[in-house]
Amino acid sequence: MLNLVLFGAPGSGKGTQSAKIIDQYGLYHISTGEVLRDHIARGTELGKIADTYISKGQLIPDDLMIRILEDVLDNEASDKKGVVFDGFPRTIPQAVALNEMLTKRGSDLHAVIGLEVPEEELIERMLNRGKETGRADDNPETIKNRLEVYHNQTQPLQDFYKNEGKYIPINGSGLVDEIFDEISAGVEKATGILRRSRK
């Protein structure tokens, strides 16, 4: 098993880099944002609850989010070689819960890849994504709230994972492929696992 967390502010490129990581290492991708947006699109009860938080740029409450994640882990990812967690954890209680969930399943979290991008660039990327994809929470007001929530509730996780010796800082500005090469080198150094193929 190889379990990785892709960590970073909204707009830092977690989704883009996740796609490359799962391709290269044969892992399963869990994006909690995508799971929630899928529920919203299908109009489920959970989607209705999630929408009230997402549209304001707030986090879904920890107990609900942890239950959703555990459900996906057991129903979709249990037979996989490992998981890339994208957008989870976002709070200290979520990080503690993830450690417990993995330990309970005889596994472990191997590395946390931190995509570090200056704030002006994050805002520009999200505004562009909003125009290109129509993603509802990529609007100026909600972006402002999401960045504030990130600084207050999510950024403290950097120290949490630094203390666990798992945090790998990555310069998330620049070309997608160059950033990915840096991620691969960091993961390989931390875990000793080699990419399936080198392009």
Interface map 134-173 toward ligand AMP (x if CB under 6 A): ---x--------x---------------------------
Q: Helix, strand, coil proportions of the chain in percent (round to 5)?
A: 55, 10, 30
Of residues 88, 77, 91, 104, the one with CA closest to residue 5: 88
In the structure encoding, which two tokens stand for residue 94, read together? Answer: 């979520």
**Angle at 42 (CA atoms; ends 97, 12), nearest 5 degrees:** 50
Measured at CB, which residue is nearest to ligand AMP? 33
In the structure encoding, which two tokens stand for residue 118, read together? Answer: 């200056």
Residues 72-101 binding ligand AMP (CB under 6 A) are: 87-88, 90, 94
What residues have CB less than 8 Å from 192, skipping those under 6 apart? none
Is 32 a residue that touches ligand AMP (CB under 6 A)? Answer: yes
Is 53 a residue that touches ligand AMP (CB under 6 A)? Answer: yes
Whether 125 is catalytic: no
Q: Judged by CB under 6 A, which of 22, 65, 115, 117 binds ligand AMP? A: 65
Site size toward ligand AMP, by CB under 6 A = 17
Query: Of 54-62, 71-79, 156-164, 181-189, which segment contacts ligand AMP by CB under 6 A?
Result: 54-62
